[in-house]
Amino acid sequence: MDTAGQNIPLKEFFKYVSLSVLAMIALSCYILADTYFVSSGLGTNGLSALNLAIPVYYFMHGAGLMLGMGGATAYSLYRSRGEERKANEVFTVTMCLSAVLAAVLVIVGAVFSRQLTALLGADKDTFAMTEIYIRVLLCFSPAFVLNNVFVCFVRNDGAPKLSMLATVSGSLSNILLDYVFIFPCNMGMFGAVFATGLAPVIGVCVSSMHFLRKKNNFHAVRCALHFKTAGKIFALGVPSLIEQFSSAIVILVFNFIVLGIGGNTGVAAYGVVANISLVVAAVFTGIAQGMQPILSRIGGEGRAKKQRSCLMLALATGIVFSVIIYVLLAVFAEPIADVFNREKDPELTRIAAEGMRIYFTAAVFLCLNIIGCTFFTSCGRPLPAHIISILRGLIVIIPSALILSALAGFTGVWISYPVTEGIVAVVAIIMLVTFLRRREAPENRE
């Protein structure tokens, strides 16, 4: 039932968004827990090694999310139109693509982990820890990919609570196992990544309850691997990949810049900021993914006009969160930095605290870009989403980081992020306004 003022079911919106935000925050704790326990157990070099390896996690997670979000969005669109056969074909093709992707990632981890470690810039002090993290992480890629696919499909199949529970249970187990493996078991970096790898295994087991209880509306069917279906999945999911890939590129570029300015201490300080950024982005991604099933369904039912109300509510929610997040990080920057500073290095705390206060001025822009990107994808318009993602991840951020760091050192590194998100936000607003005006033209009104 639609509320008169908002044109969308508020209870359903906040149910999906709140559960999705909790799930995404829990998911981001995979790496945040590693950051804390690695910094406590292995010191600055361990924290630096972890940050050098993080781009691999982002890419793997993004690739799985591409298939999960792309497949689940297409599935939801077909189901809302009553095309059950096509919806199940989408699930089947998504699973086949997931198997291929997982196999490729496992091979890369087993054969090319040393080359990847060197490419990411590890030196003699961090090489061994970085290499073992990458190798073990990629060996668990089948679990990461399958977990992303299941979580997205289960959420789009009307079970957001189970989707959230799968993610949260995996994350909580990761935190517990991180402590056990690093400290009592003294397993070092292997223990950290082993705990991270087991988390999606637990998530998959929880998601499987949707099948065991026979509440699922999707299942595998006999069908050909149509390029058209695969293309649709990729088209709708690529923005999710680019979003994660852009995070990997940003960290990679920043690592090289910061390594030249402040050495391993600088990389460790940036690692603190980057991993907190993962949690911040997870909040906005959670809001975006929470609105996605609603947007896809009402769009598939031909109620496209009501998608605007859903977008406005998501943006309002995101802006409130962005203000709260920035105030908290600005006020408590030093204590937060100290949590990840076992050796109590004052330089690490100073650099990280300064970075948080500048870096996260991008929060409002980040919120708009992530939600806007998902809005276009959910409406079946992947091109604007691609433009937003590519601008954020490649075209604007890299030259901004290189130019501003050359002009202002560390301060320039931090400033480049809000500058990038701000520029892209202007482009996103223009595309959103243009799209909505066309939707509301007299000839397009419901």
**Residue 3 within any structural domain of the chain:** no
Q: How confident is the model at residue 1 (pLDDT cuts 50, 70, 90)?
A: very low
**Residue 267 within any structural domain of the chain:** yes
The CA distance from 422 to 366, in Å, is 8
Eight-state DSSP code of residue 36: H
Q: Which domain holds residue 349?
A: 10-444
pLDDT for residue 3: 39
Whether the model clears a pTM of 0.85, i.e. scores above it, the answer is no
Across 173-194, average pLDDT: 90
Count the Cβ atoms, other than its own, within 10 Å of residue 82.
10
The CA distance from 8 to 314, in Å, is 12
**Residue 330 within any structural domain of the chain:** yes
**Residue 1 within any structural domain of the chain:** no
Contact 377, 436 (CB under 8 A): no
Per residue in 118-167, pLDDT tens? 998 888 889 999 999 999 999 999 999 999 999 989 988 888 889 888 88
Please enumerate in sequence order all residues whose Cβ is within 8 A of that of 204, keeping only pairs 6 or more positions apart, or say none: 143, 146, 147, 150, 166
**Residue 2 within any structural domain of the chain:** no
Q: How confident is the model at residue 319 (pLDDT cuts 50, 70, 90)?
A: very high
**Any idea which residue has 């070092």 for tokens?**
188
DSSP string, 342-373: TT--HHHHHHHHHHHHHHGGGHHHHHHHHHHH
Which strand (E) or helix (H) includes residue 275?
A: helix 227-300
pLDDT for residue 440: 63
Percentage of residues in the chain with pLDDT exceeding 90?
38
Across 86-107, average pLDDT: 93
**Residue 431 within any structural domain of the chain:** yes
**Any idea which residue has 């992530």 for tokens?**
370
Per residue in 356-393, pLDDT tens? 999 999 999 999 999 998 888 878 787 898 899 889 87
pLDDT for residue 324: 94
**Residue 424 within any structural domain of the chain:** yes
pLDDT for residue 31: 67
Please enumerate in sequence order all residues whose Cβ is within 8 A of that of 266, keeping only pairs 6 or more positions apart, or say none: 258, 259, 351, 410
- 138 or 57: which leads in pLDDT: 138
- Judge whether residue 255 has pLDDT over 90: no
Across 65-77, average pLDDT: 88
Across 323-349, average pLDDT: 90
Q: Kindly state the tokens that stand for 262.
A: 């402040």
Which of 369, 371, 378 has the alpha carbon at shortest distance from 396? 369
Q: Kindly state the tokens that stand for 15.
A: 């149910």
**Residue 5 within any structural domain of the chain:** no
The CA distance from 195 to 181, in Å, is 7
Provide the mean pLDDT of the chain. 86
Domains: count for the chain: 1
